[in-house]
Chain A
């Protein structure tokens, strides 16, 4: 009697925290995105205004995170940098999710030669170690935020194409799609109305989990000088900019580092939660 009670209760608690976590991390992620959208209005100072008279000021009441070597307010730079960092990451993830899914669905649905060709291409991309390849691409294209996004997109879409393809193959022969054919729906309509809604779950979960990773990689490329260029405020390049002064002026590295840490963590935790939530076993239908 007592024994059979335990698993039920355990399950209930787990489900409850999933919902709670979803709300908490969803709100936090939402706040970060809002902050990146309205960053212009949230900055206490002009993030690009140089004032050498207050250069290298340590954190204090006037400048919460101190100032950098040109006297720019670090808090304002971190806030304005959220636009570049968070917004570019979301854009990047959106691009790879959409292209990867479209290519994967096309391959899985069409099969034959097209499938073979596109999948071999994705194999080539998957065979390279990711960031190294991105470095090469960014190096060839030259620096700049746009090129960094292109480089990361080029190496990241195959993962999505793989998932979408295998999901499409699994769904292709299902009865409800055949029923839709018999209802006179066109192939395009069947893919958009029936197939994609049924395969998008695991793809979206992967995308959510990828936001954190992509943010790190984008910051990493910028840190190496292949992404955003100074004076553009971007967390990775801000850290790189100040790394020579790490010992004397630690706060300049600390502020963008903290920003990266917090956002990556929030988006990762949100991704984890969404994965738990989407798992039908955890939901107990």
Chain B
């Protein structure tokens, strides 16, 4: 089977100021490679600052790639930009860490969820109907379409964000700490929702699940990458990695939570 998302030797260097003139460079990601199979859920864990969000931003092309290639469904999207990114976002979507901040404070949740649909030429009315369906699918009621992000709870808002992400039926869903800002019970509900979606879509939906919570990754993911200082230090089945960590850093990370 071909991977839906294949990342090779991905590297990111953040430049601050001009190099050579007192500017500094942060090497946030160093030569990262992985492949995401159809229907798979791949976890990435690592401490704060290990470069997890940078990986997500590079794959979604929200930030430029310094080196390496990103293949989505066999297509090279590493340097793609402008209007051609629209086709990419048809297949690739992301759920952000801060649910409330991920919606325009001056627009309703419904308008945010329907934006991608309207951008793809769907009429206002049809998009509205579709938004209602999506809300129901994500465990909310139709009324939420008319609410503003500050009027709903974090958990409800994250459900709406998931509804927005799956509106275009993406093949790959990136969740960057999608549950970190929520309390434990709500976290469980969101994981439940993601599990439901996976079950419904089968091989049609692959998830890249970024988190610093090992227990959560163990529950939810088929495979896990451990990142440390921008590099993958260990990967494999989550249960095995947790039971028999090979790398000293992974050992510490696991000891710190168990």
Binding site for B on A (CB under 8 A): 174-176, 178-186, 189, 194, 197-198, 285
Q: Which of B7-15, B20-28, B103-111, B132-140 contacts A (4 or more CB under 8 A)?
A: B103-111
List residues 68-113 of chain B with CB under 8 A from any CB of chain A.
83, 85-86, 89-90, 93-94, 96-98, 101-107, 112
Known: A180-B104, A181-B62, A182-B93. A175 touches B119 (CB 8 A): no
Residue B150 interfacial (CB < 8 Å): yes
Q: How many residues of chain B are within 8 Å of chain A by beta carbon?
A: 29
Chain A residues with CB under 8 Å of B156's CB are: none
Is B106 a contact of A185 with CB atoms below 8 Å? no
Residues of A within 8 A of B165 (CB): 182
Q: Note all chain B residues with C-beta closer than 8 A to A182.
A: 60, 62, 89, 93-94, 116, 165
A176 near B103: Cβ-Cβ < 8 Å: yes
Question: B171 within 8 Å of A by Cβ?
Answer: no
Complex partner residue of B98 from A175, A189, A285, CB under 8 angstroms = A175
A175 pairs with B96, CB closer than 8 A: yes
Decide if B120 touches A179 in the complex (CB within 8 Å). no
Residues of A close to B93: CB separation below 8 A: 182
13 intermolecular pairs with C-beta atoms under 8 Å apart = A174-B101, A176-B112, A179-B96, A179-B102, A179-B161, A180-B115, A181-B89, A182-B93, A182-B116, A183-B89, A184-B85, A184-B119, A197-B104
A-B pairs, 9 with minimum CB distance: A183-B116, A184-B86, A183-B115, A184-B119, A175-B102, A175-B101, A176-B104, A179-B102, A184-B89
B103 adjacent to A178 (CB under 8 Å)? no
Closest to A185 in B: B119
What is the distance, in angstroms, from A7's C-beta to the closest C-beta of chain B?
Answer: 23
The main secondary structure of chain A at its interface with chain B is: helix
In angstroms, how far is the closest chain A Cβ from the Cβ of B244?
Answer: 37
Measured CA separation A285–B119 after assembly (Å): 32
Most buried by B among A174, A181, A184, A185: A184
Q: Which residues of B contact A179 (CB under 8 A)?
A: 96, 102-103, 112, 161, 164
Alpha-carbon separation in the docked complex, A197 to B104 (Å) = 10
Q: Which residues of B contact A (CB under 8 A)?
A: 60, 62, 83, 85-86, 89-90, 93-94, 96-98, 101-107, 112, 115-116, 119-120, 150, 161, 164-165, 168
Q: With A and B bound together, what is the CA distance between A14 and B101 in angstroms? A: 30
- What is the CA–CA distance of A180 and B120 in the complex, to the nearest angstrom? 13
Q: How far is the CB of B127 from chain A (nearest CB, A)?
A: 12
A45 to chain B, nearest CB (A): 49
- Decide if B106 touches A198 in the complex (CB within 8 Å): yes
Find B101's partner among A176, A183, A184, A186 (CB 8 Å cutoff): A176
Q: How far is the CA of A117 from the CA of B98 in the complex (A)?
A: 36
Which of B83, B96, B106, B107 lies in contact with A186, CB distance below 8 A?
B83
Once the chains bind, are A197 and B106 in contact (CB under 8 Å)? yes
* Residues of chain A lying within 8 A (CB to CB) of residue B150: 285
Task: Note all chain B residues with C-beta closer than 8 A to A185.
Answer: 115, 119
Query: Considering the chains assembled together, what is the distance between the CA atoms of A189 and B103 in angstroms?
Result: 16
The reply to whether A184 and B104 form a contact with Cβ atoms under 8 Å apart is no
Q: A183-B115, A285-B150 are in contact. Are A178 and B104 (CB under 8 A)?
A: no
| Docked complex Cα distance between A175 and B94 (Å) | 11
Q: Nearest-CB distance from B105 to chain A (Å)?
A: 7
CB contacts (< 8 Å) of B119 on chain A: these are 183-185, 189
CA–CA, A280 and B161, complex, Å: 26
CA distance A184 to B164 in the complex (A): 12
CB of B243 to closest CB in A, whole Å: 36
Given contacts A176-B112, A180-B115, A184-B89, 17 further A-B contacts (CB under 8 A): A175-B96, A176-B103, A178-B62, A178-B96, A179-B112, A179-B161, A179-B164, A181-B85, A183-B112, A184-B86, A184-B90, A184-B116, A189-B119, A194-B104, A197-B104, A197-B106, A198-B104
Contacts of B89 in A (CB 8 A): 181-184
